[in-house]
Structure 1
Amino acid sequence: MVEIIGSKKMNSSPQQLRAVLIIFALALLLRYEFGLPESPPNPQKALLKILPIVVLIAVVQHNQRRTEYSVRLTAGLCFSAAGDLCQLYKQEEYLIFGVMCFGIAYCLYATAFGLRDDNFLLACLACGSALAVYHVGTPKLQKVSPLAAISYTLAALLMLWRAMAWWRASQNNRSSAALLGAATLVASNAVFSSHIFQFPVPHTDLVVSSSYYAGQLLLALSAL
């Protein structure tokens, strides 16, 4: 686990944390004020849509440049940004590509947390949850293929499993932030999937968007 996380140790101060939160909040403000999608997509608005993720990439690189953890976390954030851009388009191929990008991002986060064969019971719980979601949601899948859906679900639960395993092994601020971030992203996906395939969820856009950015922020804070 130590090798995966990286050898560079950073101690974040309250001032550093406040600076990160302020800059991220400003990026979110710009994203919602000027980056809302249009049809056809506007390139400038597309860049503003991924601005919060770009800020998080800069935070990770500033605090853990060139460590294995920062490389994998940054790669995951880049794929998340690509998934955000795919959401600007309504064509089915972009939807599938977006699902693939987010799935790859979750796998990269899992490798950053450390891929090991420990915590077998947690792994079984994750697989059982994925199978349950697949069984319930498959009959109502519309534009996403069942294979893509189960792969995406497994990737998200793999990320959560490895975050839980890291936290159980270390129980420090970084692993706590990673676990909260992974859990928040999984919750965001659960709300979105429930709204699309099961039943309407009030204020879906606000709930999904806020939990998505909160999860990505917490993952970035695990690099402090």
Structure 2
Amino acid sequence: MEAGGREPERWHIPKHLLIRRLVPFFVSCALYFFLCLPSEEPNWTSALAKCLPVLCLALFVRNSAPAGPYGQFIWLGLLCSILGDIMTTWPKQFFFGLVAFAFAHLFYLRAMGWFPIRQIYLESVAVIFLLYFGLLHSHLPPCLNLPVILYEITLALMLWRALVRGRNAAFGGLLLSISNALLAWDTFVRPLPSGRLLIRVTYYAAQVLLALSALENRAPQADRARRPRLSEAADE
């Protein structure tokens, strides 16, 4: 703790230790890309290989993040993402995978909080998501229209809060949104060249950035702005 009771801006962890703890994530990513992605088939082996990098990140957050609600909710979001990865391995389980990923976004959203508002970010995200969903809507099966709308709203809110938080959370939220957009286009509109590779690269990059954001022991800007005033009141 710093003087005056304020917490440090970052959770200090030696860089070499941080890299060492991320080695399992990078190794499991390499195994997936080289062994499973070229001929991915819906079986438990490919499901395990697919979710193993995110499982490594969940363990990383559990062992490395400072105590507090932010890291806990990021950890829960990663666990839901693991479930989503498993479910979406089988096309018939797509709906349940969608639900699992929606819960992951809700946990990320809960971690990032609702303040400060930053209306310009909210409006920008809303416009982009509405335009994209307008393009996607006519290609969706009727049974998925409502679930996809609700999912997109959850994802958009998560991106808004991630952008407000900044740093690793902002880039992670942005890459996760791009990965979802690529997946939706590849699944419902037309297959993209190297589509699965692009989807997984952006997805894993997003998840590692969100995991790293749990090491930024930062209070929301609105809270940080209040602290000096609270300290002054205590002194009086």
Q: Could you tell me which residue of structure 1 aligns to residue 222 of structure 2? A: none
Q: Could you tell me which residue of structure 1 aligns to residue 32 of structure 2? A: 31
- Kept in 1, the 8 Å contact 2:22–2:60? The answer is no
Gaps of 5+ in 2: 1-6, 216-236
Q: Could you tell me which residue of structure 2 aligns to residue 60 of structure 1? A: 61
Q: Secondary structure at the match of 1:145?
A: helix
From 195, 214, 224, the counterpart of 1:223? 214
Q: Could you tell me which residue of structure 2 aligns to residue 188 of structure 1? A: 179
What amino acid does structure 1 have at the position aligned with 2:121? L
Q: Could you tell me which residue of structure 2 aligns to residue 17 of structure 1? A: 18
Quote the RMSD (CA, aligned, Å). 2.2
- Kept in 2, the 8 Å contact 1:160–1:182? The answer is yes
Q: 1:152 to 1:195 in 2, by over 3 A?
A: same
Q: Could you tell me which residue of structure 2 aligns to residue 150 of structure 1? A: 149
Report which stretch shifted further, 200-209 or 109-118: 109-118
Residue deviations 1:68-99, cap 9 Å, x none? Answer: 011100110011000000012221xx111111
Residue deviations 1:141-185, cap 9 Å, x none? Answer: 137611111111111111110011112xxxxxxxx1111111111
Distance 1:14 1:150 in 2: 41
Q: Secondary structure at the match of 1:76?
A: helix
- Say whether 1:198 aligns with 2:189: yes
Task: Write the mapping of 1:59-78 to structure 2, written as runs, cut at 5 A.
Answer: 59-64=60-65, 66-78=67-79
Residue deviations 1:77-134, cap 9 Å, x none? Answer: 011000000012221xx11111111111112111111223611232222223332222
Q: Shift of residue 57 of structure 1? A: 0.8
TM-score w.r.t. structure 1 length? Answer: 0.82
Distance 1:118 1:96 in 2: 31
Distance 2:130 2:47 in 1: 35
Higher relative contact order (Cα pairs below 8 Å, separated by 6+ residues): 2
Report which stretch shifted further, 154-163 or 62-71: 62-71
Task: Write the mapping of 1:98-113 to structure 2, written as runs, cut at 5 A.
Answer: 98-113=97-112
Residue deviations 1:8-67, cap 9 Å, x none? Answer: 85113321232134221112233345666544x23x553333211111011111122541
Q: Shift of residue 188 of structure 1? A: 0.9
Distance 1:144 1:85 in 2: 22
What amino acid does structure 1 have at the position aligned with 2:158? M
What amino acid does structure 1 have at the position aligned with 2:84? G
Q: Could you tell me which residue of structure 1 aligns to residue 198 of structure 2? A: 207
Q: Aligned pair count? A: 206
- Kept in 2, the 8 Å contact 1:72–1:111? The answer is yes
Q: 1:166 to 1:197 in 2, by over 3 A?
A: same
- Kept in 1, the 8 Å contact 2:46–2:89? The answer is no
